[in-house]
Structure 1
Amino acid sequence: MTGEPRVRTVRGDVAPSSLEVCDAHDHLFFASRQLAGQELDDAAAAGAELRAFAAAGGRTVVQWTPFGLNRRAADLAALSEATGVHVVAATGFHRAEHYPADVLDRVSDRLAEIFVADLLDGIPAGDDPDAERTGPRAGLIKVAGGFHVVDRHARWTMVAAAQAHQETGAPIAVHLELGTAAREVADLLCGELAVPPSRVILGHLNRNPDLRVLREVADTGVFLGFDGPSRANHATDWRVTDLLFELATSGHTGQLLLGGDTTTAAARLSSGGGPGIPYLLTTLRPRLVRALGEDVVQAMLVSNPARAFAARWRR
Structure 2
Amino acid sequence: MSFIRTFNGDIKPEDLGFTYSHEHIVCRPDYWVQRGEDDLLLDDKDKSQKDVEDFKRHGGKTIVDATAIDYGRDVQAVKQISDETGVQIIGTAGFNKSFLWDARVKEELKPIIGDYETYAEWIDKTPINKLTDFVIREVEEGLEGTPLKAGQVKFGTGYNRITPLEEKTLRAVARAHHETKAPVHSHTEAGTMGLEQLELLKSENINLENLSLGHMDRNPDPYYHEQIAKTGAFLSFDGIAKIKYAPESTRIYCILELVKKGYEDQILVSGDTARKTYYKHYDYGLGLEYIIAKWVPRFIDDANRQGFDGEKLIRKFFIENPARCFAFKK
TM-score by length of 1: 0.92
Following superposition, the deviation at residue 236 of structure 1 comes to: 4.8
Q: For 1:97-246, what aligned pairs fall within 5 Å after superposition?
A: 97-100=99-102, 102-108=118-124, 109=126, 110-124=130-144, 133-189=145-201, 191-246=202-257
Which residue of the partner structure matches residue 286 of structure 1?
Answer: 297
Which residue of the partner structure matches residue 21 of structure 2?
Answer: 24
CA-to-aligned-CA distance 1:167-218 (integer Å, 9 cap, x gap): 10011111110111111112221x2111111110001000010111111111
Deviates more, 1:136-145 or 1:105-114: 105-114
Give the aligned length: 301
Deviates more, 1:193-202 or 1:107-116: 107-116
Distance 1:30 1:76 in 2: 9
Instruction: Give the AA of the match of 1:79.
Output: I
Following superposition, the deviation at residue 70 of structure 1 comes to: 2.2
Following superposition, the deviation at residue 107 of structure 1 comes to: 4.0
Following superposition, the deviation at residue 299 of structure 1 comes to: 0.1
Distance 1:54 1:225 in 2: 21
Deviates more, 1:50-59 or 1:97-106: 97-106
Percent identity, aligned pairs only, is: 28
Q: Decide whether the 8 Å contact of 1:267 with 1:276 is kept in 2.
A: yes
Q: Decide whether the 8 Å contact of 1:179 with 1:206 is kept in 2.
A: yes
Deviates more, 1:300-309 or 1:22-31: 22-31
Distance 1:25 1:165 in 2: 19
Supply the RMSD in Å over aligned alpha carbons: 1.4
Distance 2:2 2:77 in 1: 26
Distance 1:186 1:273 in 2: 38
- Structure 1: gaps spanning 5 or more residues: 125-132
For residue 261 of structure 2, give the secondary structure of its aligned residue in structure 1: helix
Instruction: Give the AA of the match of 2:240.
Output: P
Q: For 1:3-22, what aligned pairs fall within 5 Å after superposition?
A: 4-22=1-19
Deviates more, 1:74-83 or 1:295-304: 74-83
For residue 225 of structure 1, give the secondary structure of its aligned residue in structure 2: strand
Instruction: Give the AA of the match of 2:97.
Output: R
Instruction: Give the AA of the match of 2:13.
Output: P
CA-to-aligned-CA distance 1:289-312 (integer Å, 9 cap, x gap): 112311111100000000000103
Q: Decide whether the 8 Å contact of 2:214 with 2:237 is kept in 1.
A: yes
Q: Decide whether the 8 Å contact of 1:228 with 1:236 is kept in 2.
A: no
For residue 232 of structure 1, give the secondary structure of its aligned residue in structure 2: coil
Distance 1:9 1:150 in 2: 30
Of 40, 55, 69, the match for 2:42: 40
Following superposition, the deviation at residue 234 of structure 1 comes to: 1.7
Distance 2:28 2:249 in 1: 29
Q: Decide whether the 8 Å contact of 1:40 with 1:263 is kept in 2.
A: yes
Q: Decide whether the 8 Å contact of 2:51 with 2:288 is kept in 1.
A: yes
Q: Decide whether the 8 Å contact of 1:206 with 1:236 is kept in 2.
A: no
CA-to-aligned-CA distance 1:126-181 (integer Å, 9 cap, x gap): xxxxxxx2240011112112212333222111101101001100111111101111
Distance 1:50 1:278 in 2: 8
Distance 1:28 1:238 in 2: 27
For residue 173 of structure 1, give the secondary structure of its aligned residue in structure 2: strand
Which residue of the partner structure matches residue 307 of structure 1?
Answer: 324
Instruction: Give the AA of the match of 2:2.
Output: P
Q: Decide whether the 8 Å contact of 1:149 with 1:184 is kept in 2.
A: no
Instruction: Give the AA of the match of 1:280.
Output: I
For residue 89 of structure 1, give the secondary structure of its aligned residue in structure 2: strand
Which residue of the partner structure matches residue 284 of structure 2?
Answer: 273
For residue 262 of structure 2, give the secondary structure of its aligned residue in structure 1: helix
Deviates more, 1:259-268 or 1:99-108: 99-108
TM-score by length of 2: 0.88
Deviates more, 1:68-77 or 1:219-228: 68-77
For residue 141 of structure 1, give the secondary structure of its aligned residue in structure 2: strand
Which residue of the partner structure matches residue 83 of structure 1?
Answer: 85
For residue 106 of structure 1, give the secondary structure of its aligned residue in structure 2: helix
Instruction: Give the AA of the match of 1:123.
Output: L
